[in-house]
C-alpha cells in the first residue's frame, strides 16, 4: 500500500484494518481496510445497505466495532437528518462544541490586562482579590475568544444574517451549513459527512457542493464524505472508495485539479470516470 | 432581554401592585395589558373575526335559552337557577370575601402541588428514560403506582398525613407526578439517536448533555405531560378539598350543596373552570416565551 497520498507528499492520518460492524448478530461490514491521507477529501460510495453510514459511525466510535482502527480522537460529524439542534439558535449550535475551549494565550492576555489597570487590580497586590479578578478576566477572555470563533464560522458559512434564528426557520441547505460550521468550529482533525446533502433538491445540492469545496479550500481538513451520488463524489473528492460486500472492491483516484469549477462536470474525463464508477457499483454484489 | 427575566419583571410588577394595597383595578388593568401584549405576539393562531362573532352569538344564545327555561317555571328556581342568579351569587361571593379566600387557598395548593409533582416527574422521567440502571430500579416501582386512580388514594393519604394542607398538596403532586413522569420518560427515550451522537462528537457530557440535549430533546413530550398534569391538578384540588378543608373552591361547592345554594355551586364551578382554562393558557404562554423554538420545530 502506498504511504504517499495523491496530493503532494501527505502522510497517512487514518488507518483501518479489518474493520467489522454487526447489528443484531448479522454483519453489516466485514473486513474493511483502507487508509486516508492528511488533508484528503475521500468519498465513499456504494449501494444503499452497503454499510456506508455504519462505516462512519463505527470509525467515529458511536457504534461498536471490530478490527484495528487508528484515528485521531477529535472528529467532527455532519449528519443527513436532525443535523442541527432545533432548540438552539444558529449561534448556539455553532458554539455547542466550544464549551471547554480556552484562549491559547489566556494567561498572558490576563496578565497584560491586569497590568493595564491601576488600583485595585495591581498584579503585585497579592491575595484573594487579585485571584478573583484574574479568574474573572480569564473567563471573559475565553468567552470573547469563543464568541469570535463562532462569529468567524458563521461568516464562513454565509449565515451572518441568520445568526439568531432557529434551525426551524431556515431552509434545508442552511441547516446543513449550520451543521458543517458546528462540526468545524472545535477545529477537529477529521470531518465525517454522512450524506449531508442527501435530503436537498438537486439545485440546492449543486450550490452546496460548490460551497463545500470553498470551505475545503479555506480549512483544508481531512474529510470523509459518504454519498450514493457518483457525480457528487467525483466533483468533490480526491479519491473514491467503493464499498461493497466483503470490503472495498475498487478504489478510484480523481485526477481533477483544485479549485474546481462547476463546468468540469461536463468534461469528457469526468463523464468517463462517472461511467466507470457506476459500472463498478452495479457489478459488485 | 431574556424571556425569563421578562416574566420575572411582570410577576414582580403584579405583586407590587397588590402588595401596596392599591385598588384591585390596577392589577386587572395590568393583567389585561399583559394579556394584550401576549395576544399581539402570539395571536396569529386566533380565529377569523367571523368565526369569533359566530361563536360569541352561539354562546349568548345558549345562555339566553338557559335563562328562559329556568324562569319558565318547569322546575323550582332554586333547584335550576338561571345564569343571572348565578352571576348574582358570584357577586355575593366576591363581596363577602369568600371568593378571594377560596381562590387563594385552592390556587396555592394547585400551584404548589403542580410544581412539586411536575419537577419531580421531569427529573425522574429523564433519568429513567436515559440511564438504564435507574430505569431498571425505579420504573417497576412507579409502574406499580400508575394504574391506581390518584383520587382513590386520597383517603389513605389523609389517614397517614392528616387533614392538613400538606396532605392535599401531596395528593395533587402525586397525581401530577405520575402523568408527567410517563411523558418525560417516553420523551427521553424517543430522542432521535442523531442528537445523542452529535452531542457525543461535540464532547457534551454529564450536566451539559442533560441541559443542552436531553432536556430540550424530550421537551415536546414534557410539555404535553405538563399540560395534562395541570388539568389533573385542578381535578385533584377539587377532590382533596371535599374532605377536611376550611377554605377552597371545592370546599365552597360542597358547603353550598349542604346549604342547598345551587346558584353558588354553579358559580364556584364556573370559577374553577375559568381558573383551569387560565392556568392552561398561562402555562402555554410561559412555555412559548421560554422555548420559542417549539413553534418552528416538529422533530417527532
The ipTM value here is: 0.89
Best A57, A58, A72, A82 residue to mutate vs chain B (most B CBs within 10 Å)? A82
pLDDT of residue B53: 87
d(CA B145, CA B143): 5
Rounded to a whole number, what is the distance in angstroms from the first to the last CA of chain A? 25
* Pair B117, B170: CB distance under 8 Å: no
Q: Is the torsion defined by CA of A45, A50, A54, A55 positive or negative?
A: negative
Cell numbers placing A98: 466550544
Spell out where chain A has E strands.
12-23, 26-37, 41-45, 66-70, 75-78, 190-194, 222-226, 239-244, 247-253
Band (A22; pLDDT cuts 50, 70, 90): confident
pLDDT of residue A174: 92
Place of cell 444558529: A90
Band (B296; pLDDT cuts 50, 70, 90): confident
Angstroms from A109 CA to nearest CA on chain B? 27
Count of residues in chain A: 285
Q: What residues of chain B lie within 8 A of the CB of A76, using their CB? A: 201
- Please report the number of interchain residue pairs, chain A to chain B, with beta-carbon separation below 8 angstroms: 67
Of A57, A86, A97, the CB nearest to B297: A86
d(CA A84, CA A91): 11
Q: What percent of chain A has pLDDT over 90?
A: 44
Cell numbers placing B195: 442528537
**Average pLDDT rounded to a whole number, residues A171-180:** 92
Q: Which of B297, B286, B127, B118 is nearest to B220 (CA)?
A: B297
d(CA A231, CA B110): 62
Indicate yes or no: CB of B297 within 8 angstroms of CB of A87.
yes
Band (B9; pLDDT cuts 50, 70, 90): confident
Would you call A255 helix, strand, or coil by DSSP?
A: coil
Q: Which residue of A has its CA nearest to B217?
A: A87
pLDDT in tens, B217-234: 999 999 999 999 999 999
Q: What are phi and psi of B64, to 5 degrees?
A: -65, -45
Q: Which of B286, B296, B211 is nearest to B6 (CA)?
A: B286
B164 touches A at CB < 8 Å: no
Band (B202; pLDDT cuts 50, 70, 90): very high
Q: What percent of chain B has pLDDT over 90?
A: 61
**Average pLDDT rounded to a whole number, residues A1-13:** 59
| Contacting residues for B209 by C-beta, under 8 A, at least 6 apart | B199
Q: Is A191 left (phi over 0), alpha (psi -120 to 50) or beta?
A: beta
Residue B18 has pLDDT above 50, yes or no: yes
Residue A4 has pLDDT above 50, yes or no: no
Residue B23 has pLDDT above 60, yes or no: no
Band (B117; pLDDT cuts 50, 70, 90): very high
d(CA B149, CA B37): 40
* Pair A7, A238: CB distance under 8 Å: yes
| Contacting residues for B91 by C-beta, under 8 A, at least 6 apart | none
Question: Would you tell me which residues 88-117 of chain A have a C-beta closer than 8 angstroms to some C-beta of chain B?
Answer: 88, 96-97, 99-100
pLDDT of residue B41: 59
**Average pLDDT rounded to a whole number, residues A266-283:** 89
**Average pLDDT rounded to a whole number, residues A147-159:** 92
| Contacting residues for B58 by C-beta, under 8 A, at least 6 apart | none
Q: What residues of chain B lie within 8 A of the CB of A186, using their CB? A: 202-203
Indicate yes or no: CB of A62 within 8 angstroms of CB of B201.
yes
Residue B161 has pLDDT above 80, yes or no: yes
B295 touches A at CB < 8 Å: yes
Q: What residues of chain B lie within 8 A of the CB of A167, using their CB? A: 296-297
pLDDT of residue A3: 44
pLDDT in tens, A187-205: 999 999 999 988 888 888 8
pLDDT in tens, B37-81: 666 655 555 567 788 888 889 999 999 999 999 998 888 888 899
DSSP state of B48: P
Band (B265; pLDDT cuts 50, 70, 90): very high
Chain mean pLDDT for chain A: 86
Residue B38 or residue A79, greater confidence: A79
Q: Which residue of B has its CA nearest to A59?
A: B201
Q: Which of B194, B224, B217 is nearest to B287 (CA)?
A: B224
Q: Which of B271, B181, B288 is nearest to B234 (CA)?
A: B271
Q: Which residue of A has its CA nearest to B197?
A: A62
Cell numbers placing B188: 427521553
Chain mean pLDDT for chain B: 87
Q: Which residue of B has its CA nearest to A78?
A: B198
Q: What residues of chain B lie within 8 A of the CB of A99, using their CB? A: 203-204, 208
d(CA B164, CA A97): 50
Q: What are phi and psi of A117, to 5 degrees?
A: -80, 155
Would you call B77 helix, strand, or coil by DSSP?
A: coil
For residue A43, cis peptide bond before it (omega within 30 degrees of 0) = no
Of A76, A87, A100, the CB nearest to B216: A87
pLDDT of residue B27: 60
pLDDT in tens, A28-52: 888 888 999 998 999 999 888 788 8
Of A60, A99, A169, the CB nearest to B201: A60
B222 touches A at CB < 8 Å: no
Residue A70 has pLDDT above 70, yes or no: yes
Indicate yes or no: CB of A79 within 8 angstroms of CB of B212.
no
pLDDT of residue B285: 87
Indicate yes or no: CB of B201 within 8 angstroms of CB of A77.
yes
Angle at B229 between CA B283 and CA B129, to 5 degrees: 105
A169 touches B at CB < 8 Å: yes
Residue A123 has pLDDT above 80, yes or no: no
Q: Which residue of B has its CA nearest to A182?
A: B202
Of A75, A88, A168, the CB nearest to B201: A75
Residue A119 has pLDDT above 70, yes or no: no
Residue A271 or residue B48, greater confidence: A271
Rounded to a whole number, what is the distance in angstroms from the first to the last CA of chain B? 30
pLDDT of residue B75: 86
pTM, to two decimals: 0.82
For chain A, how long is the longest CA-to-CA vector? 78
Lowest mean pLDDT among A119-133, A196-210, B182-196, B261-275: A119-133
Band (B190; pLDDT cuts 50, 70, 90): very high
pLDDT in tens, B121-153: 999 999 999 999 999 999 999 999 999 999 999
Of B198, B219, B293, the CB nearest to A77: B198
Indicate yes or no: CB of A168 within 8 angstroms of CB of B292.
no
Amino acid at each position: 500500500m502506498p504511504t504517499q497520498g495523491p496530493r503532494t507528499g501527505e502522510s497517512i492520518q487514518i488507518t483501518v484494518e479489518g474493520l467489522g460492524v454487526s447489528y443484531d448478530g448479522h454483519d453489516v461490514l466485514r473486513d474493511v481496510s483502507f487508509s486516508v491521507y492528511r488533508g484528503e477529501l475521500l468519498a465513499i460510495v456504494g449501494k444503499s445497505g452497503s454499510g456506508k453510514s455504519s462505516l462512519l459511525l463505527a470509525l467515529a466510535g458511536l457504534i461498536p466495532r471490530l478490527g484495528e482502527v487508528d484515528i485521531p480522537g477529535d472528529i467532527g460529524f455532519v449528519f443527513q437528518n436532525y443535523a442541527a439542534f432545533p432548540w438552539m439558535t444558529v449561534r448556539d449550535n455553532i458554539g455547542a462544541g466550544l464549551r471547554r475551549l480556552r484562549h491559547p494565550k489566556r494567561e498572558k492576555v490576563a496578565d497584560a490586562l491586569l497590568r493595564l489597570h491601576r488600583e485595585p487590580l495591581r498584579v503585585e497586590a497579592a491575595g484573594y482579590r487579585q485571584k478573583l479578578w484574574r479568574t474573572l478576566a480569564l473567563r471573559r477572555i475565553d468567552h470573547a475568544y469563543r464568541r469570535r470563533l463562532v462569529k468567524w464560522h458563521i461568516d464562513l458559512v454565509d449565515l451572518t444574517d441568520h445568526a439568531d434564528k432557529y434551525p426551524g426557520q431556515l431552509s434545508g441547505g442552511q441547516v446543513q451549513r449550520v451543521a458543517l460550521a458546528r462540526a468545524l468550529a472545535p477545529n477537529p482533525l477529521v470531518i465525517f459527512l454522512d450524506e449531508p446533502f442527501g435530503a436537498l433538491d438537486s439545485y440546492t445540492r449543486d450550490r452546496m457542493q460548490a460551497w463545500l469545496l470553498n470551505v475545503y479550500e479555506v480549512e483544508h481538513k481531512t474529510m470523509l464524505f459518504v454519498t450514493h451520488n457518483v457525480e457528487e463524489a467525483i466533483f468533490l473528492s480526491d479519491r473514491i472508495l467503493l464499498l461493497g460486500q466483503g470490503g472495498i472492491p475498487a478504489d478510484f483516484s480523481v485526477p481533477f485539479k483544485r479549485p474546481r469549477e462547476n463546468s468540469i462536470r461536463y468534461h469528457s474525463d469526468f463523464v468517463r470516470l462517472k461511467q466507470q464508477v457506476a459500472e463498478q457499483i452495479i457489478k459488485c454484489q | 432581554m431574556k424571556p425569563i427575566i421578562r416574566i420575572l419583571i411582570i410577576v414582580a410588577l403584579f405583586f407590587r401592585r397588590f402588595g401596596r394595597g392599591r385598588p384591585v383595578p390596577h392589577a386587572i388593568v395590568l393583567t389585561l395589558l399583559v394579556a394584550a401584549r401576549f395576544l399581539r405576539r402570539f395571536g396569529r393562531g386566533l380565529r377569523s373575526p367571523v368565526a369569533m362573532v359566530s361563536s360569541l352569538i352561539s354562546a349568548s344564545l345558549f345562555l339566553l335559552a338557559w335563562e328562559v327555561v329556568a324562569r319558565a317555571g318547569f322546575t323550582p328556581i332554586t333547584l335550576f337557577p338561571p345564569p343571572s342568579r348565578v352571576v348574582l351569587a358570584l357577586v355575593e361571593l366576591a363581596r363577602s370575601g369568600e371568593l378571594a379566600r377560596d381562590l387563594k387557598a385552592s390556587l396555592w395548593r394547585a400551584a404548589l402541588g403542580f410544581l412539586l409533582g411536575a419537577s419531580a416527574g421531569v427529573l425522574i422521567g429523564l433519568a429513567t428514560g436515559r440511564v438504564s440502571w435507574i430505569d431498571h430500579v425505579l420504573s417497576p416501582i412507579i409502574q406499580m403506582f400508575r394504574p391506581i386512580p390518584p383520587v382513590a388514594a386520597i383517603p389513605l393519604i389523609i389517614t397517614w398525613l392528616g387533614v392538613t394542607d400538606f396532605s392535599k398538596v401531596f395528593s395533587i403532586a402525586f397525581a401530577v407526578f405520575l402523568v408527567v413522569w410517563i411523558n418525560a420518560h417516553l420523551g427521553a427515550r424517543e430522542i432521535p439517536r442523531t442528537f445523542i451522537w452529535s452531542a457525543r462528537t461535540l464532547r457534551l457530557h454529564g450536566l451539559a448533555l442533560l441541559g443542552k440535549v436531553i432536556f430540550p430533546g424530550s421537551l415536546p413530550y414534557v410539555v404535553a405531560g405538563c399540560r395534562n398534569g395541570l388539568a389533573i391538578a385542578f381535578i385533584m384540588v377539587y377532590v382533596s378539598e371535599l374532605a377536611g378543608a376550611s377554605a377552597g373552591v371545592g370546599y365552597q361547592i360542597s358547603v353550598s350543596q349542604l346549604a342547598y345554594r345551587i346558584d353558588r355551586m354553579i358559580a364556584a364551578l364556573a370559577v374553577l373552570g375559568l381558573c383551569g382554562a387560565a392556568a392552561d393558557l398561562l402555562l402555554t404562554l410561559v412555555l412559548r416565551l421560554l422555548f420559542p423554538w417549539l413553534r418552528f420545530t416538529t422533530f417527532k
